Amino acid sequence: MKVPALFSELGPSPSTMEAGKAVDAYGAQSGFITQQNGGVQAYTQALWKGVGTWVELPPDRWPKEWHGRFIRPVVLLRIALYGHPDSGGLWEQYCEAMLMLVGFIMPDPEGWPSVFFHPELRLLLVVYVDDFKMSGPKENMSKGWSLIASKIDMDTPGEVNRYLECDHVVQHNVELKVGDHPYAHVFDKSLADPAAPAAAACHRTQDFWELGSINDVYMRHHMQPRKNLFLPDEDVVKSCHLSPFRFTSAIPCNNHEREGKQLESDPT
């Protein structure tokens, strides 16, 4: 026999970070602005619709006639009080219903939850719990906030400052190069991935040539001690245009420590 499990919690679906950035991009158009606002004690604006719940009030919230008459009185919960696991979902349902009453629609409720658009005013709104962030034509913003405030108790709208625990700084007429984009390496494979681990030091065992940019000379790296001086082959002399001088420098073998002071030079 199978017994179904019932879960009464209403999990809210807050907006994503991408949604907030989309509002920023939408408001960056010519003649558009972006503002943010907050709901006043947002959860408690929604009425309680869950399982009947009794709560204990602190003494400073008791009516005068309760003092001296009760010890630990309880009352029936009537609003979506902060702290209850269902309060966030109830507030979200209430907020969505109120916004739709004043003309906002939800273009993609499942893919972009808590994102609204007003077709007539061309306003794009994103709601994260009790934080409202909206962008659109400058001349329509005040009307949009007034519509929201007619159904939801709101603070005074202002410029974008702190949203999702991040301080936002708006700059205009800033020209960025392609390489300045944090994900430019995804589209241009010639750019290095900034998050890639540093390349491990190359441990060579064989001799090799390298053009020294500091002294502008060709260098022969000896990876093993030698008793005799090295004499390059004739083909190496011709291909590299070597001069009849040899420079011996105290340069470590590690690739990241190839700067050294010239110690001696002698003609070969």
Residue of 129, 100, 131, 132 whose CA lies nearest to 117: 100
**Tokens representing 151?**
């159904």
Range of the structural domain that residue 28 is part of: 17-163
pTM: 0.60
pLDDT, one tens digit per residue, over 200-212 is 556 777 777 777 7
Distance CA 197, CA 181 (A): 19
Same domain, 35 and 148: yes
As a whole number, mean pLDDT of residues 72-83 equals: 88
Residue-averaged pLDDT of the chain = 79
- Over 60: is that where the pLDDT of 265 sits? no
Q: Between vectors from CA 31 to CA 28 and to CA 37, what angle results, nearest 5°?
A: 65
Q: Are residues 214 and 150 in the same domain?
A: no
The answer as to whether 112 is a domain residue is yes
Give the pLDDT band (50/70/90) at residue 141: very high
pLDDT for 53 beyond 70: yes
- Identify the domain boundary among 163, 198, 227: 163
Q: Mean pLDDT throughout 245-260?
A: 49
C-alpha pair distances (Å), 166 with each of 109, 160, 202: 25, 11, 41
Residues 213 and 151 in one domain: no
CB 87 within 8 A of CB 130: no
SS3 56: strand
Note whether residue 98 is domain-resident. Answer: yes
60 and 126 part of one domain: yes
Instruction: Choose among 24, 35, 21, 39: nearest CA to 138.
Output: 35
Report the DSSP pairing between strands 262-267 and 245-249: antiparallel
Q: Considering the domain boundaries, does residue 5 fall inside one?
A: no
Structure tokens at 52: 């009947």
* Same domain, yes or no: 26 and 135: yes
Q: Which of 97-101, 189-193, 240-244 is predicted with the least confidence, judged by mean pLDDT?
A: 240-244
> Is the confidence at residue 264, as pLDDT, over 60?
no
- For residues 127 and 223, membership in a common domain is answered with no
Question: How many structural domains are present in the chain?
Answer: 2
Give the pLDDT score at 144: 96
CB atoms closer than 10 angstroms to residue 1:
2
Do 49 and 116 belong together in one domain?
A: yes
